[in-house]
Each structure stands twice: as C-alpha cells, then as structure tokens.
Structure 1
C-alpha cells in the first residue's frame, strides 16, 4: 500500500493530517472491498493553487475544497473485474499496486468549512478524503440518487473510523 502525501501549502494544519489521510484511505479501501494493494497520492495545498487546478481541468475559475483525479475507468463504481485486462494502464509496474489516482485538498477550505459546518478540522479533512476516495472508485453525485448513495457511503466510511459530526 502506497499513500503519498505532499504538503504544499504555507499554512499548516494543526492536526495529524498524515494519520487522518492514511486512516480514511485505508477505511475506504476496506469499505469498497478493493481486492488489490493500491496507490493513492494526496496533495494538501491552498485556495490559490487549487483554484488554478480547478480552472485548468474543470474550467471553473474558483477555489474548491477537494479535487479527484481517478486513474481507473469504471463501468460500475468499485467494480474491479476489468482492471487485470489492462494491467499496463492500471497497475504500477514497479510495485504491482493498483494506481487509484490523485486527491488535491485545500487546507484553506478545511479550515473554512470546519468552522462553517460546526465540526472539527479533523472531521472536515476526513470527510474530504472519504469523498474524494469515492470519486477514485468511480462514484459521482451529479444526479440525486448518485448523491444519496455517495453521501451514505461517505458517512459509513467515516463512522468505521469514528469521525462523526
């Protein structure tokens, strides 16, 4: 299991962000029953940097809380049946791990949203990572049914590790 974390923001979160990220990534892998050792990259940045990434990749010129860049194409969320048919596309040749993708989190938004929603920064970071992990598994929230399914899964992943409101 490889969970790479890069901290690129000047502002430092006063919490054990590495432990929280690893905990939630592992919880999501367990919850979604990923049958492979996996690789996930997480970047913690600020509003300005995530705004630039959001503009470049989504053509939305504003900061957002989290961005997900999945490496696996799913027909159905968390359906891993097809990945071995494209080993060269989905697996790291050096480690043999399934390359799930990248997560980019704004530490500014972690602070802002924790205050706005009345919970801890720890819970907010855990929520954003759980949310993004579900995107890496192919879930989306464009339609009401998808949104409800994703919210339910996020809540259950967070609850398995004790991150509650």
Structure 2
C-alpha cells in the first residue's frame, strides 16, 4: 500500500510515529474490508483554517471539520470491489498498478480538541478519523441511521483489531 502523507501546517499532532499510525490504520481498514488490491491514498494533515476553506470549496460548508474524504471510486454497495476489474487502469495508478482509493484531509486542531473533549488520546482520535475516512473511501456513508450504525461498528472493529481503544 502506498500512503502519501503531506503536512500543510506547523502545528504538531503530538502523536508518536503519526505517519506509521496513519499507514497502519489505513492498511487495517483495507484488510478488514477484504480489499483484494494493493491501494494508494494521499493524506493531507492541515489546520482548521485550511480545512474550512477546503470544506467550503468542496461541500459548500463554511466551517472547519475534523476529516474530509475524497473517494476516487463510486461503489454500488460499500466495499464491493467487483467493478474495479471493469474499470481497469482508469482507477489504478499506471506506474504501480495500485488501486487509487482517494484523498483524506485531517485537521490537527480538531484531532487535538476532540481527543480532549472525548477524553481519549490524540493517537486514538487520529486512528479513529483515519479508519472513518478509509471507510468513506470504500463507499460507506452515515447519512441514514442504519448506515451510521454499520459504519460505527466497522470503525470500532478496525481499531479493536489494532488494540486502539478509548
């Protein structure tokens, strides 16, 4: 798996080996969802003003958020990778053959404030947001109550498998 991580802020996450954690959680989510392909994602770590601007430009919501997900694929049902074969190289990096899943944008400010608000570590908050976003990249959503429950169960399972608990 290729995980490209870029930092667009001088603010510190305060998480030891944050890049390794991001990669580990991303891989664990793919494994949990039984993705049959090597995959590629990009992760941008930024601050509240920058994520607010991205949120405004892409979603029309003029407020900072904790994480944004930009999937490259449309799934008929979550984590159904059967269409990848039909799409071929349109959804794969021509140099590596890896499946292009999409982009994740994380706010350092929100990771820090939400960890404090929820009473757990920044490591746990970062891992949760990466797992959450990876599920979005694989077609999951939480607009309906039933979808939310499914997504929450899967997020927690990924984190539990890694021993990352509250």
Q: TM-score range by the shorter chain?
A: over 0.9
Q: Distance in 2 between matches of 1:152 and 1:46?
A: 28
Cα RMSD of the aligned pairs, angstroms, is: 0.6
Classify the secondary structure of the residue corresponding to 2:135.
helix
Deviation track 1:20-62 (CA, whole Å, cap 9, x = no partner) reads 1011001001000000000011110000000000000000000
2:135 maps to 1:134: yes
2:3 maps to 1:8: no
Unaligned 5+ runs, structure 2:
none
Deviation at 1:150, TM superposition (A): 0.1
Classify the secondary structure of the residue corresponding to 2:25.
helix
Classify the secondary structure of the residue corresponding to 2:101.
strand
Classify the secondary structure of the residue corresponding to 1:41.
strand
Moved over 4 A (4+): none
- Pairwise mapping of residues 15-164 of structure 1 onto structure 2 (< 5 A)? 15=15, 16-164=17-165
Classify the secondary structure of the residue corresponding to 2:134.
helix
Q: Distance in 1 between matches of 2:3 and 2:126?
A: 16
Deviation at 1:89, TM superposition (A): 2.0
Q: Distance in 1 between matches of 2:148 and 2:75?
A: 17
Q: Distance in 2 between matches of 1:9 and 1:163?
A: 26
Q: Distance in 2 between matches of 1:44 and 1:105?
A: 5
Equivalent residues of 2:89, 2:97 under 8 A apart:
no
Deviation at 1:7, TM superposition (A): 1.0
Q: Distance in 2 between matches of 1:102 and 1:128?
A: 13
Q: Distance in 1 between matches of 2:68 and 2:22?
A: 15
* Number of equivalent positions: 165
TM-score normalized by the length of structure 2: 0.98
